[in-house]
Amino acid sequence: MDQRVRQHQRRSHWRAIAGMSAALLLMHCGNALAAPLRIAVSANFKSTLETLVAAYAATPAATAETPLQPAEHQPIDIIAGATGTLYAQIVNGAPYEIFLAADSLRPRLLVEAGFASSKSRFIYATGQLVFWAPSETKPVSLATLMTTNSAIAIANPALAPYGVAAQSVIDHFKPDHKTLVHGNNINQTFQFVESGNAAAGFVALSQVQGRSAADNWWLIPAAIYPPVHQQAVVLNNASPAAWQFAEFLRSNTARQIIREAGYLTPASP
């Protein structure tokens, strides 16, 4: 073979390798600089979402339908707050891509107002309400609710679905003592009780399970308050990564994490 031909082949070979290396470098830089996936989440679900994000990052994210970069290269920003507050922020242009609400009303309103498609809305968890009185020396029960003489903390019903549920329990039993302390969201309500600013309060099971003795809280029968169906919705400005994470929330892995955190989940599809 002519020496000039061999030299030309070698140069072509190295140019091909250089091109592939450059493409891989650009892909790596693109992943490293990828804009974070912004998830707005109801305050009660924040810690569970953090666990889900960690599990998501530990598993391959690419599928035939959504051939994206590995999940660990996709940064995720979690913005937690009261469902009503987050909803108002979305309506006013907040750049969230997924909204994990603590109710089904706000996601439905977002779909109806054209902020998201109906196919993106689904129940990811159902919350369970407890009455928590950590200073009680006897097992907490309905009797505790009916006889307590201290302020009771609840989430603001105007902003938080857990507050609506708590108010329904109060209206149902009509305890003699009705001094209520309102938290802006369920996390602030928990903090009121934990700090001693309120002796007792209505919080989510997920907040006390594993953190407080079982005798210090009463799991309220679900029939007494409207179900806290927590729905997710993917917003119109969402990236493909948002759809992929929403798909992960429906996986068996995610459902197990959610149940272990103290929620109920829909049956697997």
Domains, in order of start, for the chain:
34-126+232-260 (3.40.190.10), 129-219 (3.40.190.10)
Contact assessment for residue 90 and residue 80, using Cβ atoms and an 8 Å cutoff: no
* Residue recorded with tokens 């990052």: 57
Name the nearest CA neighbour of 218 among 141, 152, 155. Answer: 141
Residue 183, SS3 per DSSP:
strand
Q: What is the pLDDT of residue 24?
A: 41
Strand ranges for 143-255 from DSSP E: 152-155, 180-183, 200-204, 217-219, 228-234
Name the nearest CA neighbour of 194 among 143, 133, 258, 151. Answer: 133
Contacts of 24 (CB under 8 A, 6+ apart): none
CB atoms < 10 A from the CB of 169, how many? 19
The angle that helices 46-57 and 252-260 make with each other, rounded to 10 degrees, is 150
Q: What is the pLDDT of residue 175?
A: 87
Q: What is the pLDDT of residue 268?
A: 56
Contacts of 269 (CB under 8 A, 6+ apart): 250
Parallel, antiparallel or unpaired: strands 129-132 and 37-42: unpaired
> What b/e string do you get for 187-215 counting C-beta neighbours within 10 Å, with b at 16 or more?
bbbbbbbbeeebbbbbbbbbbbbeebeee
Q: Measured between alpha carbons, how far is residue 62 from residues 85, 104, 162, 169, 251 in Å?
A: 33, 29, 36, 45, 14
Parallel, antiparallel or unpaired: strands 98-100 and 228-234: antiparallel
Report the distance separating Cα 68 and Cα 135, nearest Å: 50
Residue 155, SS3 per DSSP:
strand
Q: What is the pLDDT along the chain (269 residues), one digit of tens a residue?
A: 455 545 445 555 444 444 444 444 434 444 445 689 999 999 899 999 999 999 998 876 544 344 444 444 578 999 999 899 999 999 999 999 999 999 999 999 999 999 999 999 999 999 999 999 999 999 999 999 998 888 999 999 988 899 999 999 999 999 876 789 999 989 999 999 999 999 999 999 999 998 889 999 999 999 999 999 999 999 998 999 999 999 999 999 999 999 999 999 987 55
- Global pTM value: 0.78
Report the distance separating Cα 237 and Cα 90, nearest Å: 11
